[in-house]
Amino acid sequence: MIEMTPAARERLDNYLQRMRSELRGARSVLADDVEQSVREHIEIELELAEGPVGATEVIGVLDRLGPPERWLADEERPAWRQWMDRISTAPDDWRLAYLAFGLFLASLLLFQLIGPMLIIPAMVASRAYVQLARDRNEPLGARAWLVYPSIALVLAFAVGMLLIGPPLGAIAFVMQNGFDRMFDVPQNTIGQLRFTIGMGGVVFGSWWIIAAGFCAAFLRPIRFIFAPLLDAVHRKHFAVLAGIGALVAAGAATLIIYRH
């Protein structure tokens, strides 16, 4: 066993640690085998040194051995490491897109823990990337697959909450306080069913008219937040939503008026 100064020992330990981490998971190379050979190589190189070997001598040997990150051929390396390499060596303008997609995947995988907290940074990173591409006048191309998912997920959640959140809350409030006490509800089953559907329809339809008005009023900021997925949305689409809301509310009101 060669005697080394603490600094030299630390250098060597760091190098061997890097090597083990690099060789872990290699397809047809045994990490222990390689480590044993490398240790033997270092010992032979340094066996003629007098006294404790210093960091300079060790660094010289390690430099000739080269960085372990460059030892393995690509096909030898585990798939996840190849993926990480692709990210770290990707052109600068792809990294933000990879980060956004990574955060999106993490938000799905860790959904029950911190998923909801990760999807917002994923969405912000994606949106920033879309803006960057627009400022440079570059088409997103294949990068769209990396940045659209988080924007689409947040958009789907926001649309869902906007369309059904407040009406469901209102209906729950009414049901908790009892239909009977607030309204003249028929006693027979068919009448009760008509009344319940009618009440739900009025609440949903009315809310959709309000929501459509709100979205039409704030169309520009909404389109900006969810660009490019809402680029093709115009005020006329919210007019359609308001129209559907009016029809649903009117139909439902008819059920309530003629509930008996």
Partner 1 sequence: MADLSFDNWMTQLRKGLLELAVLNTIAEAPLYGYDIVRRLSDVDHLVITEGTVYPILSRLKNSGLVETYLEESREGPPRKYYRLSTRGREDLHRMNQHWDSLHHAIGGLRKERKR
Which residue ranges make up the site for partner 1 (CB under 8 A)? 19, 23, 26, 28-30, 33-34, 36-38, 40-41, 43-45, 47, 64-68, 70-73, 76
Report the nearest approach of partner 1 to the CB of residue 54 (Å). Answer: 19
Q: Which is nearer to partner 1, 36 or 131 (CB)?
A: 36
Report the nearest approach of partner 1 to the CB of residue 25 (Å). Answer: 13
Report the nearest approach of partner 1 to the CB of residue 65 (Å). Answer: 4
Q: Which is nearer to partner 1, 30 or 117 (CB)?
A: 30
Q: Which is nearer to partner 1, 10 or 43 (CB)?
A: 43
Q: Which is nearer to partner 1, 10 or 40 (CB)?
A: 40
Report the nearest approach of partner 1 to the CB of residue 34 (Å). Answer: 5
Q: Which is nearer to partner 1, 71 or 179 (CB)?
A: 71
Phi, psi of 81 (to 5 degrees): -75, -35
Report the nearest approach of partner 1 to the CB of residue 44 (Å). Answer: 5
Report CA-CA distances (Å) from 260 to 136, 180, 186.
65, 15, 6
Residues 255 and 201: beta-carbon distance below 8 Å = yes
Question: DSSP for 36-94?
Answer: HHHHHHHHHHHTT--SSBPHHHHHHHHHHH--GGGTS-GGGS-HHHHHHHHHHTS-HHH
What CA–CA distance (Å, rounded) separates 147 from 38? 43
Classify the C-alpha dihedral 185-191-192-197 as positive or negative. negative
